[in-house]
Amino acid sequence: MIKIIDYKADCDGIFSRYTDKVNVQSAVSEIIENVKKNGDSALYEYTLKFDGAELNNLEVDKSEIKQAIEETDSEFLKIIRIAAENIKSFHEKQKREGFSIINQNGIKVGQRVIPIEKVGLYVPGGTAAYPSTVLMDAIPAKIAGCEQIIMTTPPDKNGKIRAEILAAADIAGVDRIFKVGGAQAIAALAYGTESIPSVYKIVGPGNAFVAEAKRQVFGKVAIDMIAGPSEILIIADDNANPVFVAADMLSQAEHDKNASAVLITLSKEFAFAVSQEIEKQISTLKRYEIARESIDSNGKIIIAEDLNQAINISNEIAPEHLELCIENAESSLDKVKNAGSVFLGNFCPEALGDYYAGPNHTLPTSGTAKFSSPLSVDDFVKKTQFISCTENCLKKVCMDINEFAIKEGLTAHGKSATIRFEEFDK
């Protein structure tokens, strides 16, 4: 049963989150070292051990992709393509152009925006498979202009990847796909093997082993974020529908047992109505056991005094997904300071963003929305600065440069500017 908390009477534990007590650091470190040392043979070994698949080849070939497209329901293919277009339209607006200016001293300065050449996409498998994640990760990389987009995802026991995953990868423009999952896939993308090329950045969600592997290879490669369990927070007034709210909370609870679904509402009556509706709906879910544990362990309904307090609580929690199921929801958007993605109104379920609307569903979790952002085209580019200076311009400013250098005790810095004009002054 979900916990109901009156914020005025008892605010203890409201801001607490699930923390994984399982220490996977040493196990992941061992996997990474094995992949670094033994390459493909380690990947074959782990794929058999963890996925139950005995492979002859790690890479998905073109015939498998063609077969997957043929096997995918034609109506679902249409839906994938529509979603892909929505995602593309949204992310194309994020493209940045470089710039150059001439400053007050006549020095030309500028910035170039350059695609990261090689990126790796991790797509989870296990209890669920996510063609939507393929679209969300690959399309921004494609728009950014990355030359090589390499995807890894775990196979099933027959050594196959679900047809929908491969179809989505083809539609999104993934260049190469490998049948590898877990920490070993992250290691392969970071360090390279005989089959899998190393990349410069790795993005995509995963379990605790994947998250820890990303943490450990960071520095060798860049990563997008360390993703925690999925989260939803809903702010609802009395005009909201408790049936809708309960359904939206369960949509996150079914992700995994560590997911959190939180409701902040303004009345006890609405809180109890949602609680009862959760109990009614949860028994019908295919992933009942996962949702049950999530709701019982991590679910909360918080009763706030007013809407401003509700939003303040939400800003402190900084949820991955925030639904504003309130009247005139858009008028409250400016008050939201910390959230990965915001869903406005009673007919904007979080699932709309997961699959279809266009904004990215790879979002900051665990309160990191206070300082980080959803996955975007920016994650697949880097910036390089440039400076151009003529002789006359440098002559005007070289003594200023020298003065800075003297104050910092780095006289050779200053000398590098002044020496260019010493022969002319003699």
pLDDT, tens digit, for every residue of 216-266? Answer: 999 999 999 998 899 999 999 999 999 999 999 999 999 989 999 999 999
Q: Could you tell me if residue 375 is inside a domain?
A: no
The verdict on 185 and 327 lying in the same domain is no
What's the rounded Cα separation, in Å, for the pair 264 and 234?
6
Q: Is 328 exposed, middle or buried (0-12, 13-18, 19+ CB in 10 A)?
A: exposed
Q: How confident is the model at residue 125, as a pLDDT?
A: 83
What's the rounded Cα separation, in Å, for the pair 74 and 71?
8
What's the rounded Cα separation, in Å, for the pair 3 and 37?
49
Average pLDDT over residues 255-284: 96
Q: How confident is the model at residue 381, as a pLDDT?
A: 98
Distances (CA, A) of 205 to 60, 258, 286, 289, 314: 21, 15, 23, 22, 23
| Segment 326-379, tens digit of pLDDT | 999 999 999 999 999 999 999 999 999 999 999 999 999 999 999 999 999 999
Tell me the CA end-to-end span of the chain in Å, nearest whole number: 87
For this structure, is 321 an active site residue? yes
Q: Is 8 exposed, middle or buried (0-12, 13-18, 19+ CB in 10 A)?
A: exposed
The verdict on 37 and 129 lying in the same domain is yes
What's the rounded Cα separation, in Å, for the pair 346 and 245?
9
Q: b vs e for 389-416, b when ≥16 Cβ sit within 10 Å of the residue's Cβ? A: beeebbeeebeebbeebeeeeeeeebee
The verdict on 12 and 29 lying in the same domain is no
Q: How confident is the model at residue 10, as a pLDDT?
A: 72
Least confident of 66-70, 217-221, 226-230, 317-321: 226-230
Q: How confident is the model at residue 339, as a pLDDT?
A: 98
User: In which domain, by residue range, is 329 found?
Assistant: 3-18+229-357
3-state secondary structure of 260: strand
Q: Which of 320, 323, 350, 361 is catalytic?
A: 320
Q: How confident is the model at residue 425 (pLDDT cuts 50, 70, 90)?
A: low
**Average pLDDT of every residue of the chain:** 95
The verdict on 67 and 214 lying in the same domain is yes
Q: How confident is the model at residue 15 (pLDDT cuts 50, 70, 90)?
A: confident
Q: How confident is the model at residue 113, as a pLDDT?
A: 98
Q: How confident is the model at residue 117 (pLDDT cuts 50, 70, 90)?
A: very high
DSSP strand pairing (381-388 vs 108-115):
antiparallel
Q: Which of 231, 254, 255, 321 is catalytic?
A: 321
What's the rounded Cα separation, in Å, for the pair 360 and 374?
6
Bigger pLDDT: 423 vs 119: 119
Dihedral, 299, 304, 307, 311 alpha carbons, nearest 10? -50
Dihedral, 127, 133, 137, 140 alpha carbons, nearest 10? 180
Query: What CATH number is attached to the domain comprising 342?
Result: 3.40.50.1980
Is the confidence at residue 123, as pLDDT, over 70? yes
The verdict on 171 and 58 lying in the same domain is yes
The verdict on 159 and 37 lying in the same domain is yes
Q: Could you tell me if residue 370 is inside a domain?
A: no
Both tokens assigned to 67: 């077969």
Q: How confident is the model at residue 223, as a pLDDT?
A: 98
In sequence order, the β-bridge partners of residue 14 are none
Q: Could you tell me if residue 334 is inside a domain?
A: yes
The verdict on 302 and 206 lying in the same domain is no
| Segment 126-148, tens digit of pLDDT | 666 799 999 999 999 999 999 99
The verdict on 163 and 244 lying in the same domain is no
Tokens 């007034």 locate to 237
Both tokens assigned to 143: 């728009």
For this structure, is 30 an active site residue? no
Average pLDDT over residues 204-221: 95
Tokens 């963003």 locate to 353
The verdict on 41 and 181 lying in the same domain is yes
In sequence order, the β-bridge partners of residue 109 are 101, 387
The verdict on 272 and 135 lying in the same domain is no
What's the rounded Cα separation, in Å, for the pair 224 and 241?
36
If phi over 0 gives left and psi between -120 and 50 gives alpha, with beta otherwise, what is residue 8?
Answer: alpha
Closest CA to 358 of 50, 92, 74: 92
Q: How confident is the model at residue 19, as a pLDDT?
A: 63
In sequence order, the β-bridge partners of residue 120 are 150, 202
DSSP strand pairing (260-265 vs 231-236):
parallel
Bigger pLDDT: 388 vs 21: 388
Provide the whole-model pTM: 0.93
Q: Report the percent of the chain where pLDDT is more than 70.
A: 96
Q: How confident is the model at residue 96, as a pLDDT?
A: 93
Is the confidence at residue 18, as pLDDT, over 70? no
Q: Could you tell me if residue 343 is inside a domain?
A: yes
Count of domains observed in the chain: 3
CA 175 to chain centre: 20
The verdict on 120 and 163 lying in the same domain is yes
CA 336 to chain centre: 20
Least confident of 1-10, 132-141, 145-154: 1-10
| Segment 282-316, tens digit of pLDDT | 999 999 999 999 999 999 999 999 999 999 999 99
Q: Could you tell me if residue 379 is inside a domain?
A: no
The verdict on 241 and 298 lying in the same domain is yes
Average pLDDT over residues 189-211: 96
Which of 357, 375, 402 delimits the end of a domain? 357
